[in-house]
Amino acid sequence: MNLLDGKLVSAKIKEDIKVEAAAFTAASGRKPHLVAILVGNDGGSETYVASKMRNCELVGFDSTNIRYDVDITEEQLIAKIKEINVDPTIDGLIVQLPLPKHIDPDKITEAIDYRKDVDGFHPINLGRMQRNLPCFIPATPYGILLMLAHYGIDTAGKKAVVVGRSNIVGSPMSILLARNSNPGNCTVTLTHSRTQNLAEEVLQADIIVAAIGKKNFVTADMVKPGAIVIDVGINREDSTETKSGFKLYGDVDFDNVAEKASWITPVPGGVGLMTIVGLLKNTLEAAKGTIY
C-alpha cells in the first residue's frame, strides 16, 4: 500500500501558490481576495470556513468571512451576493453549504457571478467543465485530480466507481474522471442510494472514490486487490481523545482496505487538505483572470 499524502502534496502546492500570489500582488498592487459567507453556526461549516480563511492568509491572499444569523432571509443573502458580484476588490465568493432550510441553495448558487464562483457550483461552470472548457472546477474533485497528478497515477482506461452523487463531489467527480483529459479517460460508474448490488459495482473498480458521508461504508470485501482508493468522507464524532473534542472518520474502513489497495488516502490528512488547495488555486485564477 502507498499513501496518497494530502499533507505533503498540499504543502508543496501551497508553496507554489504563495509564489504566484506574491507575483500577482507585486504586479497589481493588491492581494487575491476570497470572501466566504457563513450562515448560522453549524460546527462542521465553522471549522471548514475557518480553515479556508487561515489558508488564504498563509499563501498571501486577503480573506473576509461574512457571518449571518440563521434567520437571514433568502432576499437579504442574494442582495449581499449581488453587491459582492460587482465589487472589483473581491475575486472569489463562496457561500458555505449546507444552508438553513428556508434558503434555496440553487438560487444562491445561481446568484453568484460565475466569474467569481470559485466553488465551481454555478451551472455555467458545471456545463463548461462537462465540455472540457476553461472553468472553475469544484474544489474537492479538483484537489483529487491534483493529488492523482502529483503521484503520476495513470487513470486512462481504468474503471472508476464513484460512491455518492452529491453536487459538491460525486457528480462533478464522475464527469471529470470520464473527460478526455489527464487525469481522466476513465470508464465511470456513478453509484448512489438507489444502486442495486452496490458492493459488486465497487468490487469492479480500479479507482474508488468514496463520497457518501457514512463512516467505514467501504469495507475490504468491496475492494479489488490493487485498487486506488480515494476517501472523501469527513464524518465527525464527538471524542474525549482529541483537543478539538471530535474525531474524524472517512467513508472507508482504512485499516482493512489499506491492506488491499495499491494507493489510499488517509482521513484526516488526505482529500480534506487537497480541497483547500483546489479552492486556493481557483481563487488565484479568478484574481489573475486567466479563466474569464
The residue number with the shortest CB distance to ligand GUN is 97
Task: Check 5, 14, 31, 52 and give the catalytic one.
Answer: 52
* Distance (Å, whole) CA 208 – CA 151: 16
Task: For residue 261, count other CB atoms closer than 10 A to its CB.
Answer: 25
CB of 38 to ligand GUN, least distance (A): 9
Rounded least distance, CB 4 to ligand GUN, Å: 19
CA distances from 286 to 64, 158, 204 (A): 16, 32, 39
Q: Which residues bind ligand GUN (CB under 6 A)?
A: 94-97, 119, 139-140, 168
Beta bridge partners of 34: 63, 92
| Cβ neighbours, 10 Å, residue 282 | 27
Is 119 known to be catalytic? Answer: yes
Residue 96 annotated as catalytic: yes
Taking the complex as a whole, how short is the minimal distance between the CB of residue 145 and ligand GUN, in angstroms? 15
Angle value at C-alpha 13, between 162 and 20, nearest 5 degrees: 130
Contact between 96 and 39 (Cβ < 8 Å): yes
29 marked as binding residue: no
- 54 marked ligand binding residue: no
User: Out of 80, 96, 158, 251, which one is annotated catalytic?
Assistant: 96
Does 179 appear as a known binding residue?
Answer: no
DSSP state of 220: G
131 is in an annotated binding site: no
Of the two residues 168 and 252, which places its CB atom closer to ligand GUN in the complex?
Answer: 168
In the complex, the smallest distance separating the C-beta of residue 101 from ligand GUN, rounded to whole angstroms, is: 16
Q: In this complex, which beta carbon is closest to ligand GUN, that of residue 91 or of residue 119?
A: 119
247 noted as active-site residue: no
Going by the DSSP 8-state scheme, the letter that residue 99 receives in this structure is P
Q: Which 8-state DSSP code applies to residue 102?
A: T
- Catalytic residue positions? 52, 96, 119
User: Which residue ranges make up the annotated binding site?
Assistant: 164-166, 234
